[in-house]
Amino acid sequence: PRRAQHHVTTVISVPHSLDEHSFEQVIEQLAAVPEGSKILLDARHARWASPYGLTALLCVPQARPEKLAFAVPEHPDTVSYWSRAGFFRHAAELYELHGSVPRARDAHESDVLLEITPITKSDDVHGVVGRIQSKAADILHGQLNLDTAVTGVFGMTLSEACQNIVEHAGQGGWVAVQTYKYTRRLGRRVVVIAVCDAGVGFRKSLESAPNHRKSDRWDDAMALEDAVLRAISRFRHGDAGRGQGLAGIRRFVGRWHGKLTVRSGTARIAITPEWDEDVPMTEQLPYFPGAQMQIIIPERIGDAPARPRGAAPASPRSRSRF
């Protein structure tokens, strides 16, 4: 008779504070684990997570063929917040949860503008924008001192970010929106949008365009530059409203001195305001499927109008393309 194989469980530790930078530690640990292994994501000591951290955690089980286990945070405040943000409701379907999870409650606290919401089709996008529109008006105008006009543009930006999942992911993703005080860099309130999926990613999506020309330099970083800086899409420009997604988001973010980061495959691009010193392009990251996007819009202080940004920034990578 064959001996039963005892699989050792690989423990992936979730950082104490989980955001778009520290989430890379999760990806690095995962990248080293062979497919088919038993994996436990250990979040017992996690104390804080951004909307990006929570939505990206939901992408991890989609990125692996195995059923993953997840150890729930032990701190009552953390578990309560993650629950209000809707994390466990979705995590329970994707992970084998270990630890005690509070009974599901509606997200009614004001800091959760939009609890984690799945996006799989265009109808979901309309629902999300509809649900958040009036709440967003209060926050953007009331708390962040942004012009009333920004609310409509905010809705469009959120819609474009979610539509990206529908058009490019090939499977569902998640969106979450929250506002909090961003003390580390800015010392003021911000609204944060995270939109994450573990689908095909930008490179494969753009490769599927009928007019796509492969070059020997074609990689995830170039695909991100094409999509974010050059507004290239897999849809022909004749298709009404297509291909404006990320370019529209970039304009909105620039206009309000916000920050946009997009990670896809092995690269990450950042459009940064003067209050942040993130690297414009990071390459050769451990591979993670899909696209993970974060938008941060800060509170406006004083009555000086936000100055519009100049022309599109130069390519973040210095190596010549010609």
User: What pLDDT score was predicted for residue 113?
Assistant: 76
167: pLDDT confidence band, cut at 50, 70 and 90? confident
Give residues with Cβ within 8 angstroms of 128, minimum separation 6: 114, 117, 119, 158, 159, 162, 175
pLDDT, position 109: 54
Pairing of strands 281-282, 259-265: unpaired
Query: Where do we find the tokens 């609310």?
Result: 151
Domains and CATH numbers, the chain: 8-103 (3.30.750.24), 110-304 (3.30.565.10)
> Which percentage of the chain shows pLDDT scores above 90?
47
Query: From CA 63, how far away is CA 66, in angstroms rounded?
Result: 9
Q: pLDDT tens across 53-112, in order?
A: 999 999 999 999 999 999 999 999 999 999 999 999 999 999 999 999 987 665 555 566
